[in-house]
Structure 1
Amino acid sequence: MTLYQATEDEKGLSIVPARYAGRWVMAGVVVLGVVLLGYGMVTNQRFQWDVVGEYLFAAPVMSGLANTLLLTAVSMAIGIVLGIGVAVCRLSPNPILSSAAWAYSWFFRGTPLMVQLLFWFFMAALVPKLVLGVPFGPSFFEISTNTLISPFTAALLGLALNEGAYMGEIVRSGIRAIPVGQTEAAKAMGMSRLQTMRRVILPQAMRVIIPPTGNETIGMLKYTSLVIVIGYSELLTSVSIIYSRTFQTIPLLIVAALWYLAVTAVLSVGQYYVERHFERGFTPHKAAKPAAAAKAAPVHAAAVALASGPEAELEKVK
């Protein structure tokens, strides 16, 4: 909104836009800083932009990027499903379910993600073999833990279980944002608890759940870089293997950063459209423009006068 101030001239008072010198000074400082930063990045030969261009679409980098996207998508999908289950259990009147869900959330949110990744990767040191059978009886199937838990499996378990704890709190806050009257109305219609949650509560809660879920997805994209500690070949691991051989550390890290920024931009655009979809019906209508309101005023007044009955009132409006 533009503010105006009155000035006096030969013909009287006139309205001109207010001037804010401080805003222009700050804008100039910001623009100057951006220009200097861009100039320094372009002219500094140590950035080795030719090396960045050489490896930006290299096969190992693209393979690592594909693994990063796969790990992000699968971990988020599992995390969202787990989060919904944890949120429903946290809100359950059953004390055992609610306590178990609270303990799950407390444990996985209370320990560092890197520790969880290392724990799953070295699971064989704790449980050498996984056995399927009757408790304290015969076993039907067994497999080595090292064979079952590969670097990808360990990364998936660590990221998905950790994300499930955070998504549980996000979904729970979205559900609690819905008025209690919605649940009571669904019960009055004969819906079960599951039907109420699926048909009434969750569709309305999505408006609250989607924004932080989008942020969690972008965060998950960056958290995948932590799996470098267990040797899974994602984007950062791929570029680290290359610069450990060529000693071109900075340009290879720039390659990874550019791809992270590009994917984040795509995810941000997708989040915007998903949020706009779920905002339908909740966004207030824009106020009518003054000119349109002025044109509509006589018509509205005439309609009111006509509804009141007397023709004299209608003549006054005309």
Structure 2
Amino acid sequence: MHDITFRGDGEFPEPGSEADVLLDACGRVAAWGPGAQQMLGCPAREAVGRSADEFLYDPADAADIVRRWEKGARRGSLVLRQRSGKPLAAQIWVRALTSANGDPQWLVQAARTAVLRTYEYGRALLKGLFTDSPFNIDIFDTQLRFVGLNIAERRAGVFQGTEYSGHTMREMAPPGLLDVDALEARQRRVLETGKALIDTEVVGHPVANSPREYVWSESILPLRDPSGRVIALGHVVSDVTQRVRSRERLVLTNEAAIGIGTTLDLWRTARELAEVAVPRFADICFVDLLDSVFPAANRPKADHRVPRCSAGPLAVGQPKTRGQTLPGK
């Protein structure tokens, strides 16, 4: 199965035409589709057999079309004439055909310029999302298998293999990258409820056996067909590690401001300092107090020991010669 990788120009389909007309070798209408009747207001019985230039607002444009065709152009803008005589801006595509008798024919397809502009806005949006944005975007089917992604090179060196389509994240992700069970649970939740999950923070290790954690913001969106049935899932993922670390530092700063120095008790203040530092900054913390901070009458003796509280076994700290050492938890 070929991977669908969105990269840019040429990757998106042309819009569907609103009107289809078949011209014979002489440029007369040989077949007139219902879309042409709806667009121009002219029924097939009145259109078939007429020269195509009669449907141009300015018949002189016919010569320009021929010149562009000879130069290789197959698409262009024209002003068509509706049955009422009003002009209608349109975009046309011309494709050469051959009849059963070997005679040349042309399939002319047209779409109103306003409709095409809407399509081009959508195409520009897709291009911006899939090729120009900093986000990793993936599409999964209802069996949680990859069916499309943007710029596969971004995953190089992280995922196992380069062929994504038809494989699940469980099959592609290396061990330790993320909690795949939790991811699949979120995917199934969106499939079942039809409701998007926005900005879920996911912790993982893109580098195998590395102690460094990364945090990604993940949004899972239900993708629907015209009937409203969920047919796929869209994943939008961005690296928010620095944002999360900054938030954690801010929380820690606030906790330190509130939790350190709540009393004038020296020992309690030292313990509060250690409790802020462990375990977010270190596994163990020692607060070294110089003799000068103690009143002469209350200075600890050289063999004084202070127990350290921790989540593990009780530990004992031995003071240094310059002052008292208080291990934190």
TM over 0.5: no
Specify the structure having the higher radius of gyration (Cα): 2
> Which TM-score band applies after superposition, normalised by the shorter structure?
under 0.3
TM-score w.r.t. the length of structure 1 is: 0.24
Structure that is richer in strand per residue: 2
